Amino acid sequence: MPDPGARRGRPGYDQATVLRRAIELFNTQGYDATSVGDLARDLGLTKSAIYHHVPSKQALLSAALDEALDGLGAALDRAVAATGTSASERLRTALEQSVLVLAEHLPAVTLLLRVRGNSEVELAALERRRVVDEQLAGLVRAAVAEGALRDDLDPEVVSRLLFGTVNSLVEWYRPGGPLEPQALARTVASLAFDGLRPPQPHPPAPEA
Amino acid sequence: MPDPGARRGRPGYDQATVLRRAIELFNTQGYDATSVGDLARDLGLTKSAIYHHVPSKQALLSAALDEALDGLGAALDRAVAATGTSASERLRTALEQSVLVLAEHLPAVTLLLRVRGNSEVELAALERRRVVDEQLAGLVRAAVAEGALRDDLDPEVVSRLLFGTVNSLVEWYRPGGPLEPQALARTVASLAFDGLRPPQPHPPAPEA
């Protein structure tokens, strides 16, 4: 977990718990509408007890966004660095890993996807997100260039649609249900690469 | 345009303009954080002049959500009613039409997708959205049943991923740019049905 500030502690609650509850509140009632007092009441602590754990509300936001971006960034870095494989396989890995990060860090990723750049912390997060998006777009371009992907679709549009599909999972996917993250990741990748049509056992006859 | 209340008017501004600006403000600063006073200032009107156009802020929200839902609902109704075609073709039509509605009513659809059920108006909109989602899921199931779609993927998950992909367009698509709505709609449908792989001219040899 990223460190949301100075190392402080208090028996009964640790920084991780405070961060988890803060992310939940930011997601349900909005970052601006959530005060440190709200967080203290939610946890049954005093405001000064909260400040034993974290220096500021903004530090909690920063730690939450870092959690999401560290995960997504590492997933893309690993995929891009797997140079022994084809760009198409790296793209598939990047997609699957992004889904797994989203499932594992769902509240933090949900918060990240709502960030609009209203502060320096948010602007820095948007910039990191742009780098991750660009890594995915690079993988799409490389896979098209190696002939493994259709070349009739704009790679920029394709990469936006792919990340859009992954990001839309925050709207409905809830870990702990019957759909395992690994199975979801494979479904997303399979749909992206193979589409909805069943495999065609026989190709159409060649044109005369 | 849905009528946001009683028929009232004032020279210089019509209800449609007031609704357009209200949707923009709701999207940029949030519905709760936007007052009728903000809207009046934005339009250079007095609050009472606004109330000549619309009875309440909630009526504007309701009209905005109806605009999005009327469009999406009509698109799905038309697709479902096209019984002379295969379920697979109806699904493709539904997808393409949803993209076109989203492009034509982008601010209203953006607002709809942010609704969380915080009032009766929002709960009613969520219920209408659920009906539209269920129509799409029904088309997916019918297309799987007729053998036109792969049967190794859960139709519920597939329909969520499809609408997730369409809905994610509000995050980046801006009409008026080089990417025409029709081309975007075809790309979304083509990616969904055919995936990223290039067409295979020769199938793998049958297993011995």
Write the pLDDT tens digit of every residue in A141-170. 999 999 999 999 999 999 999 999 999 999
Cα R_g (chain A), whole angstroms: 20
Residue B71: pLDDT band (50, 70, 90) is very high
Better-predicted residue by pLDDT, B11 or A153: A153
* pLDDT score recorded for residue B83: 82
How much is the average pLDDT of B84-109? 96
A160 and A185 assigned to the same domain: yes
A44 and A92 assigned to the same domain: no
B44 and B66 assigned to the same domain: no
Separation in Å, CA B187 to CA A26, A144, B194: 35, 16, 10
* pLDDT score recorded for residue B198: 87
Among A8-12, A102-106, A151-155, B147-151, which stretch is predicted with the lowest mean pLDDT? A8-12
Residue B161 has pLDDT above 50, yes or no: yes
Q: How far apart are CA A82 and CA A79, in angstroms?
A: 5
- Do the domain assignments include residue A152? yes
Token couple for B125 = 């909109």
What type of residue is B113?
Answer: L
Interface mutation vs chain B, best among A174, A196, A200, A202, most B CBs within 10 Å: A196
- Do the domain assignments include residue B200? no
Residue A116: pLDDT band (50, 70, 90) is confident
Q: Is B167 on the interface with A (CB under 8 A)?
A: yes
Residue B139 has pLDDT above 90, yes or no: yes
How much is the average pLDDT of B76-86? 92
Burial A42-58 (b: 16+ CB within 10 A, else e): ebebeeeebeebbeebb
* pLDDT score recorded for residue A176: 92
Token couple for A53 = 């754990």
Q: Hey, are the CB atoms on B203 and A198 less than 8 Å from each other?
A: no
A45 and A141 assigned to the same domain: no
Task: Answer yes or no: are the C-beta atoms of A129 and A196 closer than 8 Å.
Answer: no
Q: How far apart are CA B159 and CA B117, in angstroms?
A: 22
Q: How far apart are CA B182 and CA A15, in angstroms?
A: 50
* pLDDT score recorded for residue A7: 45
Mean pLDDT value across chain B: 90
Q: Is A172 on the interface with B (CB under 8 A)?
A: yes
Q: Hey, are the CB atoms on B161 and A200 less than 8 Å from each other?
A: no
Q: How close does chain A come to B64, measured CA to CA in Å?
A: 21
Q: How many CB atoms lie within 10 A of CB A36?
A: 16
A91 and A142 assigned to the same domain: yes
* pLDDT score recorded for residue B204: 57
Q: How far apart are CA B189 and CA B187, in angstroms?
A: 5
Q: How close does chain A come to B98, measured CA to CA in Å?
A: 15
How much is the average pLDDT of B29-40? 93
B67 and B145 assigned to the same domain: yes
A46 and A81 assigned to the same domain: no
Q: How close does chain A come to B83, measured CA to CA in Å?
A: 20
B119 and B164 assigned to the same domain: yes
How much is the average pLDDT of B143-153? 93
- Do the domain assignments include residue B125? yes
What type of residue is A1?
Answer: M
B180 and B123 assigned to the same domain: yes
Q: Hey, are the CB atoms on A200 and B198 less than 8 Å from each other?
A: no
Q: What CATH number does the domain containing B111 carry? A: 1.10.357.10
* pLDDT score recorded for residue A203: 56
Partner-chain residue, chosen from A158, A188, A201, that has the shortest CB–CB distance to B196: A158
A108 and A81 assigned to the same domain: yes
Residue A198: pLDDT band (50, 70, 90) is confident
* pLDDT score recorded for residue B121: 97
Three-class SS state of A147: coil
Q: Hey, are the CB atoms on B161 and A198 less than 8 Å from each other?
A: no
Burial A87-116 (b: 16+ CB within 10 A, else e): bbebbbbbbbbbbbbbbebbbbbbbbbebe
- Do the domain assignments include residue A3? no
* pLDDT score recorded for residue A9: 45
Residue B69 has pLDDT above 60, yes or no: yes
Q: How close does chain A come to B197, measured CA to CA in Å?
A: 5
Q: How many CB atoms lie within 10 A of CB B37?
A: 11
Residue A55 has pLDDT above 80, yes or no: yes
Instruction: Please tell me which residue of chain A has the smallest CA distance to B141.
Output: A196
How much is the average pLDDT of A192-203? 81
Q: How far apart are CA A44 and CA A30, in angstroms?
A: 20
Q: Is B191 on the interface with A (CB under 8 A)?
A: yes
Q: How close does chain B come to A51, measured CA to CA in Å?
A: 28
Residue B183 has pLDDT above 70, yes or no: yes
- Do the domain assignments include residue A5? no
Partner-chain residue, chosen from B32, B184, B201, that has the shortest CB–CB distance to A203: B201
Residue B13 has pLDDT above 80, yes or no: no
B180 CB neighbours in chain A (<8 A) are: none
Q: Is B6 on the interface with A (CB under 8 A)?
A: no
Mind listing the pLDDT tens digit for each residue in A15-26? 899 999 999 999
Domain count, chain B: 2
CA of residue B169 relative to chain centroid, distance: 10
B161 CB neighbours in chain A (<8 A) are: 165, 168, 187-188, 191
- Do the domain assignments include residue B103? yes
A38 and A99 assigned to the same domain: no
Q: What CATH number does the domain containing A26 carry? A: 1.10.10.60
B40 and B117 assigned to the same domain: no
* pLDDT score recorded for residue A29: 87
Task: Answer yes or no: are the C-beta atoms of A155 and A141 closer than 8 Å.
Answer: yes
Three-class SS state of B44: coil
| Host domain of residue A63 | 59-194
Token couple for A183 = 């199975």
Q: How far apart are CA B88 and CA B92, in angstroms?
A: 6
* pLDDT score recorded for residue B29: 87
Residue B2 has pLDDT above 80, yes or no: no
Number of residues assigned to chain B = 208
- Do the domain assignments include residue B94? yes
Q: Hey, are the CB atoms on B148 and A197 less than 8 Å from each other?
A: yes
Q: Using a pLDDT cut of 90, give the percent of chain B over it.
A: 79
- Do the domain assignments include residue A202? no
